[in-house]
Amino acid sequence: MDQIGLLVICGYILAGTALLSFILSYFSRRWAIRFKALDIPKSPRKIHKEPVPLWGGLGIGLTLITAVFVFGSDVTFLSSKISLWQIIGFILGIIILCIGGMLDDKYDLKAWQSLIFPILAALAVVLTGTSIVHVTNPGTSAAFFLNWWVWHPFGSAWSLSLPSDLLTFIWILVAIFATKITDGLDGLVSGITVIGAAMVGLLSVMKTYFQPESAILAASVGGAYLGFLPKNMHPAKQFLGEGGATIAGFCLGFLAILSSAKIAIALAVLAIPVADVAFVFMRRIYNHKPWYQGDDTHLHFRLLAAGLPHRTIVFLLWIISASAGIMALTFQTRGKIFLIIALVLLTFLVSWLADKAIKRRQSNQQQP
């Protein structure tokens, strides 16, 4: 299979999974209404006025599982770079997050209860053999291996290694919570996931990193969220819910690990959400508030409070994510590091400017 042929196949997969996801979103929305899994606006941080069905992750999860089973039935899909166990771990993670998300959407689980499912999903990835084995040394561009200590508890068939498996576990959780917490504006996370999957897919098609399996999975993930996007755009007819938001980060995190070169790409796309989460957590700790308690201090909420229109904020963050991903595709390792640092600084600057604008608006409103 050459690059052109792979691009054509990925195009068909993108269209097919988008269509399936769009169809399944119709059923998941009806099921959410039937079982009263609704997002009812009870607090000021809710930007919608009427109850909106949740469980968007159900249709997305079913789409991804279907896609993997269809392509996984072809033995040529698996290679030395991706094993059957890794695919099993990927599917298990999606199922775990889908179930956990549906329960959270329906019963509004406590913070510690909802944390269980991302942890289990991350463990499913690690325990089935997906790991960050090495990273690139920025100074020499040589591989820096991370499997310093390897343990074979059941013989050579299965092993655990440190610190690679620990870093993998942390990376998956970071990616999950980046999209989970960013899911505050209609269509924002769905669009970022499509962009992230597209960037990983494009890199997988390139001659240097040519990896058909990763490109096909990326096309499936991108299609699943692209098909849901019409229901999710402002004003949203259905929300991703806990399952859809966490599956988004899980998929991007997993795709990135399939080749260590893709981690920087995914991190560039997710840099602003990750940086925003870090800043918000630090602000909560500084103000002696629970770090896990939701509020309206996230960047997208502050931009909304500063007066920017809903869709403008979403499109702006999409453009930044897409631009960062495209630049990361062309940069070497050192350039990618500087890019991510620049995006973190940009997040801080935009957040500071938004705070200034909010105070100015409040001051103007108080004047007679």
Q: Which pLDDT tens digit goes with each residue over 298-327?
A: 888 889 989 899 999 999 999 999 999 999
Q: Which of 53-57, 151-155, 330-334 has the highest mean pLDDT?
A: 53-57
Cα–Cα separations (whole angstroms), residue 262 to 87, 215, 244, 271, 332: 18, 11, 22, 14, 12
Three-state DSSP at 307 gives: coil
- Local confidence band at 364 (pLDDT 50, 70, 90 cut-offs): confident
From 95, 89, 97, select the one nearest 72 (Cα to Cα).
Answer: 89
Mean pLDDT, to the nearest integer, of 198-202?
92
Strand pairing report for 160-163 and 38-39: unpaired
Q: Which pLDDT tens digit goes with each residue over 59-107?
A: 999 999 999 988 766 645 555 577 888 999 999 999 999 999 999 999 9
pTM: 0.92
On the question of pLDDT at 116 being above 90, the answer is yes
Report the sign of the C-alpha dihedral through residues 123, 68, 21, 131, in that order: positive
Mean pLDDT, to the nearest integer, of 292-299?
75
pLDDT at position 75: 47
pLDDT at position 301: 87
Residue 260 exposure: Cα atoms within 13 Å on the Cβ side: 17
DSSP 130-154: ----EEE-TTT--EEE-EEEEE-BT
Q: Which pLDDT tens digit goes with each residue over 238-256?
A: 999 999 999 999 999 999 9
On the question of pLDDT at 154 being above 90, the answer is no
